[in-house]
Amino acid sequence: MTKDEVFKKIVDILGKYSKTEIKMENISMETSILDDLKINSARLVDIVLDFEDVFDIEVDDDDADSVATVGDGVNLIMAKI
Amino acid sequence: MDLKLKEKFALKIQYLLGWITFPFWGTFLIALLRFVGRYKVQQLCEIRKQYKQLKRSVEGPIIVCSNHLTKIDSVILNWSFASIFSYMRSYKIFSWNLPERANFYQNFILRILCYLGSCVPIDRGGSRSVVKKSLDKVIYLLKKGHTITVFPEGGRSRTGRIDLDRFTYGVGRLVNRVKDCNVLCVYLRGHNQEKYSNIPPRGARFYLNMELIKPQSRHSGLRATRDVASQIINKLVLMEQAYFATARQ
């Protein structure tokens, strides 16, 4: 799976949780999940669990803590698949 | 967990200073609650007896998980759980708290009171490393047998009821990291508390109900964290329903 494909799938997942209207073209690797997308830390755990299901990977607590931006999520997944 | 020796020592000093000075600030706070706020806790003696029995009957540390409607909920909880004399005899039963730094650490007097009152400030939304450091301190305290009060809703409920949209999973991580961890679910509410506020309305009579649970999960990692946190919040929801079905009548 390429980085672009991972990125697109992550944006789809984020769409389920964000309380702001996400415009696909505005999301970049630097977009902060907590601040820019207004997603709280509990939902961030749900998102990381969705990463596990969608990409068939396992993420531990410390790895989950490292996810702050969309790019962090992409890099984490790329390192595990 | 990577708490440095000096951080462990600092917590020990904080605990001892809190204990030594407790007769002064503890009496002051309770006087404020009773005579300025005119607050009362319903069935205070029974609650203290029940808390004492619970503490004696369980092995392992206790995390107190309560609903959250005012900024002084943790003060009222500690007031409800034991008398000043009980705390002076055994200060370890005094629960540590995790206030948000932005709310309580701007004012010098509040900062001193928080320090003496066994608080470990949390920077909500802060960098992961800073939040992790606070969690490490809490885990260290729990492993040492201290009691911790946590508000799983992650802040005062904006709806006036248990807020399922905002509740956080941090408590699940604490339970999973500490062996034999017990959770004391507490529902606390003043009779005239309709929504959230800074302090309870004057003259409030507090209802307090507590139930001890030992949440467990067949999952591991993040799923276990979520599972355990969900069990706790669901228990609080049931306790709230019981309050509105009976006590509020």
Q: How confident is the model at residue A22 (pLDDT cuts 50, 70, 90)?
A: low
Mean residue pLDDT across chain B = 92
Mean pLDDT of B72-92: 95
Give B223's contacts in chain A (Cβ within 8 Å).
49
pLDDT at B118 over 70: yes
pLDDT at B66 over 70: yes
Give B169's contacts in chain A (Cβ within 8 Å).
41-42, 45
Mean pLDDT of B133-142: 93
Q: What pLDDT, on a 0 to 100 scale, did the predictor assign at position A64? A: 86
ipTM of model: 0.79
Query: How many other C-beta atoms are found inside a 10 Å radius of the C-beta of residue B159?
Result: 12
Mean pLDDT of B117-130: 82
Is the CB of B225 inside 8 Å of chain A's CB atoms? yes
DSSP state of B200: P
Closest CA in chain A for residue B130? A65
Total number of domains in chain B: 1
Q: How many CB pairs under 8 A join A and B?
A: 40
CA distance B32 to B40: 12
Spell out the domains of chain A, with CATH numbers in brackets.
Answer: 3-80 (1.10.1200.10)
CB contact under 8 A, B222 and A48: yes
What's the pLDDT tens digit per position in B4-60? 999 999 999 999 999 999 999 999 999 999 999 999 999 999 999 999 999 999 989
Q: What pLDDT, on a 0 to 100 scale, did the predictor assign at position B1? A: 59
A35 against B6, higher pLDDT: B6
pLDDT at B168 over 90: no
Percent of chain B with pLDDT over 70: 98
Which of A32, A33, A35, A41 to mutate: most B Cβ within 10 Å? Answer: A41
Q: CA quadruple A42, A43, A46, A50: dihedral positive or negative?
A: negative
Both tokens assigned to B119: 């608080």
Mean pLDDT of B108-129: 87
Per the listing, tokens 């531990």 go with A60
Q: Lowest mean pLDDT of A18-22, B105-109, B178-182, B201-205, name the range.
A: A18-22
Mark which residues 162-201 of B lie under 8 Å from A by CB.
166-170, 173
Strand order in the sheet with B96-97: B40-41, B205-213, B182-190, B62-66, B148-150, B96-97
CA distance A49 to B139: 24
DSSP state of B209: E
Percent of chain B with pLDDT over 90: 76
Per the listing, tokens 């649970």 go with B213
What domain range includes position B122? Answer: 5-247
Q: What pLDDT, on a 0 to 100 scale, did the predictor assign at position B70? A: 95
Mean pLDDT of B105-117: 90
Q: How far is A8 from chain B (nearest CA, A)?
A: 23
CB contact under 8 A, B167 and A41: no
Is the CB of B38 inside 8 Å of chain A's CB atoms? no
A51 neighbors A57 (Cβ within 8 angstroms):
yes
Closest CA in chain A for residue B155? A40
Q: What pLDDT, on a 0 to 100 scale, did the predictor assign at position B243? A: 95
Beta bridge partners of A32: A69
Q: What pLDDT, on a 0 to 100 scale, did the predictor assign at position B245? A: 92
What's the pLDDT tens digit per position in A40-75? 878 888 999 999 999 999 888 888 888 889 999 999
Both tokens assigned to B143: 């492993």
CB contact under 8 A, A58 and B221: yes
Q: How confident is the model at residue B98 (pLDDT cuts 50, 70, 90)?
A: very high
A57 neighbors B217 (Cβ within 8 angstroms):
no
Which of A18, A40, A50, A80 to mutate: most B Cβ within 10 Å? Answer: A40
Bridge pairing between strands B205-213 and B182-190: antiparallel
Amino acid sitting at position B68: H
Question: For the range B128-137, what are the long-range contacts, defined as Cβ-Cβ under 8 Å and sequence gap of 24 or more?
Answer: B128/A65, B128/A66, B128/A68, B132/A65, B134/B98, B135/B170, B135/B173, B135/B174, B136/B1, B136/B2, B136/B3, B137/B3, B137/B7, B137/B11
Beta bridge partners of B96: B148
What is the 3-state secondary structure of A1-68?
CCHHHHHHHHHHHHHHHCCCCCCHHHCCCCCECCCCCCCCHHHHHHHHHHHHHHHCCCCCHHHHHCCC
Beta bridge partners of B206: B41, B190
Q: Lowest mean pLDDT of B6-10, B39-43, B106-110, B200-204, name the range.
A: B106-110
Query: CATH no. for residue B57?
Result: 3.40.1130
Give A40's contacts in chain B (Cβ within 8 Å).
154, 166, 168
CA distance A23 to A26: 5
Mean pLDDT of A6-32: 84
pLDDT at B249 over 70: no
pLDDT at B126 over 90: no
Q: How confident is the model at residue A1 (pLDDT cuts 50, 70, 90)?
A: confident
